[in-house]
Chains A and B, each alone.
Chain A
């Protein structure tokens, strides 16, 4: 029997980290809660970065996850602008800002970092979009540019393109896949997304590989595509995915193959837990390890990990959820729409652009997706939660 924790340290002051800190208090923990965050900003929400912050509808302070006074009320000691640089699991300390911070339980919630284009470090006009600072810099550059080239037509690239078009900024969207977000939502829904972007005058260059980013005197001048085409621009958004932010854990002995490997209780090692984008945990009902980079998982997993740190954990077995807002269309999904081998429309139709679709793998339902159909989708969630047989879902 291990002694109850007196001091819990959370590395990462974003959605997962702050939700965990809040949940520890909600679950009755009255010891020390210390949150360490690498960014100087008070913890903020990231989904609005590519939407409300980029569009200018919101100022950055509207993104704050917790109002400033809540940190004091909850007794959360927040150290911001301080990056954790090493973990000593045997000594139970985290190295941060040149000091060793002791813990009884540690939550790793350092999220992910955007992948960058090789050889573009320090090149002016080449942007990523992961932080408030990234977004504000990109926003300014996008307004000044005649045309923005977005490399990568996944979630972020597609959402950013939609927001930029809403501002009237010309956009070229480039990606190797044949349609936007095809890996995430499958070919049928992706094709519809492609139509949506085309109708909003996005210059789509899909199924095309980027050969390189051209520059002159330290400033981007264009994007070169396979086949010889060159797109002239002074502003490039690189949206080619992310990598777990685990560099600071090198040498800790933790399993760091694609995120922090955890058991079903989100535990990575003695006294060490992980939650959010960085955590790859064993989902018992799926029978495999998953790492989910979606906003609601950050919250739900942080709540599960907080309980586990207090010795009251349950296996974490969520029904994953994501949403995406592009133009006036809201797309939402439960379960896993990526990697499915079956697809059918349950209600509505692709033509009227209002529908709920079901995704299957083998003989089971693995996901449902709603296009402008939030209420209908919520009702279809049970098909995923129950892993309903494919034929039964269609008959329902």
Chain B
């Protein structure tokens, strides 16, 4: 699994942090921080959910 965060789209909502806290965090401005660019397969559903929940569509997930 490969994850790309388009940081200039990020609106700092933190939905990704709630959906996949092992993979995403926020910086002080709320912008998404990718903690793990290639997380284990067990987190796939969480990451897919984070991508779909993102209100700015800033997260791209490639299988």
Contacts and interface: CB of A to CB of B under 8 A. Distances in A.
Interface string A342-378: 0000000000000000000000000000000011011
Contact of B14 (A300, A303, A325, A378): A378
Contacts of B57: 45, 65
A323 B31 CA distance: 13
Contacts of B26: 374-375, 378
A375 B28 contact: yes
A295 B55 contact: yes
Contact of B48 (A26, A300, A374): A26
Interface residues on A, range: 20 to 34
Interface of B is mostly: loop
Interface residues of B, number: 17
Interface in A289-330: 295-296, 299-300, 303, 321, 323, 325, 330
Given A65-B57, A375-B30, A332 B52 contact: no
Contact of A378 (B17, B48, B52, B55): B17
Given A330-B30, A375-B26, A378-B26, A323 B52 contact: no
A23 interface: yes
Nearest to B12: A374
A323 B14 CA distance: 11
A316 to B, nearest CB: 14
B12 A323 contact: yes
Contacts of B52: 19, 22-23, 26, 299, 303
Interface string B11-34: 111110110000000101110000
Interface of B: 11-15, 17-18, 26, 28-30, 48, 52-53, 55-57
Interface of A: 19, 22-23, 26, 45, 47, 65, 295-296, 299-300, 303, 321, 323, 325, 330, 332, 374-375, 377-378
